A and B are shown apart, each in its own frame.
Chain A
């Protein structure tokens, strides 16, 4: 009988104590120390996206996010808190610790093209100050396109298009000075103004376009262009295509502007379309980036990009119609 009891005890341990110890270990790992562990699952958007998609933490609280992915590789970034994990491989668990020092809403997003709906994969970290749990909502100045009443949904093609791609390098040889604030104006506006200038009568149209291209490149600067290119590759290229033609793999089934106007192009905007791009001011492009596409499939980037990042991307977009060496 004692033998039987021993054998039974061992089997009992295997069936009950062994599993209990596994869960015990996991609970200990989660609760040990004064760091709060929060599990975050990165599902592809079609199967639920971030779970949970809202994470509440307190100001000053030490938090460890334990991020895992059940399906494909994802990335994680909270731009406004400056934390990120570049790669969360399926079945791996990535951990990242942070302490939020100020209250607010901090959007996070997947940074890998994990699926067609990748851009929907967003969430928010809600940082609450326990002493002041309901602070007044911060007020923001309305974005430029609203201040200037630019209709970002209106078409903006220009009649003036250059016969070949304007080149900043050729423009540099001309010595034409442009004093305008380029953010507010479209390249076509600037060209028209130059063309109307009697002093510049001896220059050909193309030369004036070259000068315009140079002006845009100078205003942007090389650092901004490089940063813009990186962001474009990470966030835009999947839909708008590597070459900007609106032919990225993830953009194939998007309605595009046709969602608003039946006569319009289907799918993502083509940044190599000179008439549209030269007719658009930076402010207008910023509006589109900020707000997103109202059913066209274009996500909003306001919550993830800083102002500067937004301008960087816009500067880079110009390189699809301007030849920047």
Chain B
């Protein structure tokens, strides 16, 4: 196989930037003021969500950037600039930029329990946020408190556990960015595996005087997927043999292998898949009763909504998918276990889900992004007009066009999903008809998304 990657570290200026210890600090220093402002406006600004910087920037601007730009094109890049784990990491390192005593960390350094060595906890955190999403996403105070809680947990975990345990195992956002980042055309990988095999100091994992060991608890030599690499560029600095590259590569490269697929991740991709149409209904749909129920926490309607959401994400959608998997196993007549079938076919759901979320996010962002002009001039809703845009009116952008932009996105996801489904049957050496139930599932899902958006 010819190598289709472009190693960015071969470009001197990029290499210099990546090797600089200032890189990550400056990225975070760039997002930190927005973070601070979002928290302050959430706590002290107007309770009217659409006039509050915290709500508009976090849930519209950031979300839009994340799902439409960062995840599809740069994978976990957000995690490289995310301010939430930064204070904890600085405390652990007792430094912001430089390397402290060969990368020694200031923490109790507890090991994360083995039973939680997966993304189930992240999925649960995501579901909890999803249950209260309508309130969190529209009420500035609640939104700020939620983010603060996560920031607090991040600091606490930094002091108790080793490295970025929070990001790896708790952050509700991290779980799905990781999964979908496999689609992105960017990766950190070792250049020459043979070199790693003979190199015993394992600086990239343990740390050197140039940098810390991988904060994400990865041994870079084993990296074959983007899922857990936070693109922090630490290993590019730490590796004493300069054997690690940041590369541009074809989209979706990680999806070409089913090696090392896991049940927690497969299940998570199903949960995410179910989430996209649900969010479309709750945030963009015309059904006022559902919106109200989602908002009225603890009311009978909300319980119904919560039950529905949990049933759909945890039982119904995974159940239907499992039925499709069972059918394809039946058609394939191979010896592979159902679990293996389930886990491997679930890879197809990654481009499908990313497409669905990108499509939902696109219309959500286009409808709401014009609030950004107002809150930039008046972040607290205190009547400021810093840049003269405080009174710009709300207008949904490209109103008539949204569906025409969403459909191609959904279709790209669908085509990639179908291709992966067929490739998976190939790998399992079954007849290619075995992919059909999975294809049907993907097509049906896409039709539901299209139906909801038209």
Q: Which residues of A contact B (CB under 8 A)?
A: 3-4, 7-8, 10-11, 14-15, 18-19, 22, 25-26, 29, 66, 68-71, 90-95
Number of A-B contacts (CB under 8 A): 67
Task: Please report the C-alpha to C-alpha distance between residue A48 and residue B383 in the assembled complex, in whole angstroms.
Answer: 21
B319 close to chain A: CB less than 8 A: no
Collect the chain B residues with CB atoms within 8 Å of residue A94's CB: 383
Are A66 and B383 in contact, CB atoms less than 8 angstroms apart?
yes
Are B381 and A68 in contact, CB atoms less than 8 angstroms apart?
yes
Main secondary structure of the interface of B (DSSP, over half): loop
Task: Please report the C-alpha to C-alpha distance between residue A8 and residue B29 in the assembled complex, in whole angstroms.
Answer: 10
Are A91 and B46 in contact, CB atoms less than 8 angstroms apart?
yes
Q: Measured between C-beta atoms, what is the minimum distance from A129 to chain B in Å?
A: 30
| CB within 8 Å for A91 and B98 given contacts A7-B25, A14-B36 | no
Task: Please report the C-alpha to C-alpha distance between residue A251 and residue B29 in the assembled complex, in whole angstroms.
Answer: 56
Chain A residue with the shortest CB-CB distance to B55: A91
Task: Please report the C-alpha to C-alpha distance between residue A8 and residue B96 in the assembled complex, in whole angstroms.
Answer: 7
Collect the chain A residues with CB atoms within 8 Å of residue B383's CB: 66, 68, 92-95
Are B98 and A26 in contact, CB atoms less than 8 angstroms apart?
no
Extra inter-chain contacts (14) besides given A68-B383, A91-B51, A93-B382, CB under 8 Å: A4-B97, A10-B29, A15-B36, A22-B40, A22-B379, A26-B382, A68-B46, A70-B48, A90-B48, A91-B48, A91-B50, A91-B52, A92-B383, A93-B383
Q: Which residues of B contact A (CB under 8 A)?
A: 22, 25, 29, 32-33, 36-37, 40, 46-52, 90, 95-98, 378-384
Q: Measured between C-beta atoms, what is the minimum distance from A122 to chain B in Å?
A: 22
Chain A residue with the shortest CB-CB distance to B25: A7
Are B98 and A4 in contact, CB atoms less than 8 angstroms apart?
yes
Are B36 and A3 in contact, CB atoms less than 8 angstroms apart?
no
Task: Please report the C-alpha to C-alpha distance between residue A14 and residue B48 in the assembled complex, in whole angstroms.
Answer: 25
Collect the chain B residues with CB atoms within 8 Å of residue A8's CB: 96
Are B95 and A4 in contact, CB atoms less than 8 angstroms apart?
yes
Chain B residue with the shortest CB-CB distance to A22: B40
Q: Measured between C-beta atoms, what is the minimum distance from A19 to chain B in Å?
A: 6
Task: Please report the C-alpha to C-alpha distance between residue A68 and residue B95 in the assembled complex, in whole angstroms.
Answer: 44
Are B46 and A70 in contact, CB atoms less than 8 angstroms apart?
yes
Q: Measured between C-beta atoms, what is the minimum distance from B378 to chain A in Å?
A: 8
A-B contact pairs, 24 of them (CB 8 A): A4-B95, A4-B96, A7-B29, A7-B97, A8-B96, A14-B32, A14-B33, A15-B32, A15-B36, A18-B33, A19-B40, A22-B37, A22-B379, A25-B384, A66-B383, A68-B381, A70-B46, A71-B48, A90-B48, A91-B50, A91-B51, A91-B52, A93-B381, A95-B383
Collect the chain A residues with CB atoms within 8 Å of residue B32's CB: 11, 14-15
| CB within 8 Å for A29 and B384 given contacts A4-B95, A8-B96, A14-B33 | yes
Are B96 and A11 in contact, CB atoms less than 8 angstroms apart?
yes
Task: Please report the C-alpha to C-alpha distance between residue A3 and residue B95 in the assembled complex, in whole angstroms.
Answer: 10
Task: Please report the C-alpha to C-alpha distance between residue A70 and residue B46 in the assembled complex, in whole angstroms.
Answer: 6
Are A91 and B95 in contact, CB atoms less than 8 angstroms apart?
no
Chain A residue with the shortest CB-CB distance to B83: A14
Task: Please report the C-alpha to C-alpha distance between residue A237 and residue B355 in the assembled complex, in whole angstroms.
Answer: 50
Q: Measured between C-beta atoms, what is the minimum distance from B81 to chain A in Å?
A: 14
Q: Measured between C-beta atoms, what is the minimum distance from B60 to chain A in Å?
A: 14
